[in-house]
Amino acid sequence: MKQNAEAEAPAEEKKETVQAPETAATEEKAEKKKEETPEEKIAKLEKAILELQDTRLRLIAEMDNLRKRSAKDLETTRYNVMTDTLHPFFQVFDHFSMAVAATETSSNMQMLLEGMKMIRTEFDRAFSDLGIEQIDATGKEFDPLTQEAMSQEASDTVPAGTVIRQWSFGYKLGNHLLKPACVVVSSGPEQK
């Protein structure tokens, strides 16, 4: 019987040795958790706080740099848009200056009229280069979306609600109205 007990003991020891590495690892983890003192926990948390503060400061600096870069890009874009817009009008201004100089030395009205027509053509070309379309409302039905009625006049020849004459052109860019046309609208035949 003694031999049987001895035979059984090594088998039980074998079972224990098989389970021992898993149990030992679990016990080591438990001991490490138990071994961590409050001071160590505080030090660990302080380190985590410092890392988070560093990350926060880096993100703030990155946002500040992005804001500065965006402002600089916006300023550059505004400058480019302004110069691209003004460029077509430089030639118009040059022609206008030549016409003014010509009127000081010449009294030829026909030449002055031709010069003004050339300037008008240059203006039309400059607007066209920018994609600006002129609104001419004379003789058309009044459209409050693109025209501003400055007054109404009775007319026997022009039906009511139709533009009799235009004081100034309107302008639009694509579907966007830049300036409405200023017009005089017919109120129909005069009431007696």
Tens digits of residue pLDDT in 33-58: 567 889 999 999 999 999 999 999 99
For residues 133-150, give the mean pLDDT: 91
- From first CA to last CA, the distance across the chain in angstroms is 142
Q: Any idea which residue has 């600096």 for tokens?
A: 61
Q: What is the Cα–Cα distance from 183 to 164, expressed in whole angstroms? A: 8
The structural domains of the chain, ordered by start, are 41-130 (3.90.20.20), 132-192 (2.30.22.10)
Handedness of CA 119, 125, 131, 134 (dihedral sign): positive
Rounded Cα distance, 28 and 20, in Å: 12
pTM for this structure?
0.55
Q: Kindly report, residue by residue over 176-185, the tens digit of the pLDDT.
A: 999 999 999 9
The torsion of the CA quartet 22, 23, 28, 30, rounded to 10 degrees, works out to 120
8 Å CB contact between 127 and 155 = no
The neighbouring-strand residues paired with 176 are 173
Distance CA 90, CA 123 (A): 10
Residue 22, pLDDT > 70, answer no
Residues 6+ apart with CB under 8 A from 146: 135, 137, 170, 172, 177, 180, 181
- Provide the 8-state DSSP code for 141: B
Q: What is the pLDDT of residues 163-173, one digit of tens each?
A: 999 999 999 99
Per-residue model confidence (pLDDT) at position 46:
95
